[in-house]
Amino acid sequence: MSAAEQDDRAESIRMIRDSAAALAPPGGDLKRIRDLRFQDPGFDAGLFRQMGEMGWIGLRVPEALGGAGLGLGEMCALAEELGGALVPEPLIAASLSAQLLAAAGRHGALPVLLAGEVLVLTAWQERPDTLEAPGTPDAPRRFLPMASGADFFLVPVREGDRLALYELPAARCVPKVERTQDGGNLGSIVPNLVEGTKLSDDIGPMLADGLDEAALVTAAYLLGGMERAFGMTLDYLRTRQQFGRIIGTFQALQHRAANLNMQLALTRASIEAAAATLDAGAIGDARRAAVSRAKARAAEASLLVQRECIQLHGGIGYTDDYDVGLYLRKAMVMANQYGSATLHRRRFMATSPEVEE
């Protein structure tokens, strides 16, 4: 990439971050997030529509199909900003569905999804902690984020050696919903293909790529939450006094904060490297290894950083009224989405050329 192209890319990413600030101000009030907790559908449909109007749902969809046609660098930058604001709207899941609809060649639902007028969720997961979509026709599909607000489900179904894609209206396939630690919800459905419409005979390769991208974007969302919680913690260390001194001057706490800062830097480097690798066109094992390295680090580091931030706040950090605890709750829910740290470490070991036999 030439210097001019690098400058253009940096400007594109900067503009994406600026656009995110309009809906998710950095360091903003979290009252909206608190008000949406443990409610149905768990997110603001009006704000989801605004995300569509700003082109976020179709960020990875080609321009010819109504999307923005941007790269993973831009998508990860957006997710990072949203993670810092704890945005509960299911943008990552909606973006996956948008890419599948675009790839399927049936675009009826795509325009309304890109506009944020409906929520379409992809019901691919049959068991915990996997990135594989078996497509068992009658198997329950689980762990659908914000499923109580879905209008349609996309269901991959194994037909011979291919993975077909069906669309089911949520009204004919009502999800069973369970609350999550952060106040959102996850749903399960049992697909009734008689009620569905077949969109594609083979969506397998696109789904595999889409799940990799969703894992990487989830890592970026976790990074945004880590950074915001760490910033809150530094502010606390700089103002809280004990024994007549600002506690941030205590060497032991400085060492702990320095370790957290290192975790943030390593996570950012891993995510940015993975986004650049995918945007450069990596395929196969190189693609999977880059994603897994980033997601494993983000999943593990997010829980470490968030727990340390709670402890560095002392007793107030454990209260639900104090905002730093919201970031730990969110990390507990999202760290395992699109694969846990354990799964991705295992996949990295199996796919990375850096690992010697």
The answer to whether 144 and 188 have CB atoms below 8 angstroms apart is yes
d(CA 12, CA 312): 36
Q: Is the pLDDT of residue 357 over 60?
A: no
Q: What is the pLDDT of residues 337-350, one digit of tens each?
A: 999 999 999 999 99
Residue in 226, 320, 223, 228 with CA at minimum distance from that of residue 275: 223
Q: What is the pLDDT of residues 183-206, one digit of tens each?
A: 999 999 999 999 899 999 999 999
Mean of pLDDT values over 151-158: 97
Mean pLDDT of the chain: 94
The answer to whether 159 and 181 have CB atoms below 8 angstroms apart is no
Q: Give the pLDDT confidence score for residue 160 in this predicted structure.
A: 95
- For the chain, which domains are there? 206-351 (1.20.140.10)
Q: Is the pLDDT of residue 112 over 90?
A: yes
Where do runs of H (alpha helix) occur along 240-250? none
Q: What is the pLDDT of residues 228-246, one digit of tens each?
A: 999 999 999 999 878 888 8
CA distances from 74 to 65, 69, 116, 124, 325 (A): 19, 10, 19, 25, 28
Long-range pairs of 32-37 with CB within 8 A, sequence gap ≥ 24: 33/85, 33/86, 33/87, 33/88, 33/326, 34/326, 36/88, 36/183, 37/182, 37/183, 37/184
Where do runs of H (alpha helix) occur along the chain? 3-23, 31-36, 45-53, 72-84, 91-104, 110-114, 204-239, 251-279, 284-312, 324-334, 341-351
Residue in 326, 298, 323, 295 with CA at minimum distance from that of residue 223: 298
How would you classify the pairing of strands 162-169 and 197-200?
antiparallel
How many CB atoms sit inside 10 A of residue 6's CB?
A: 10
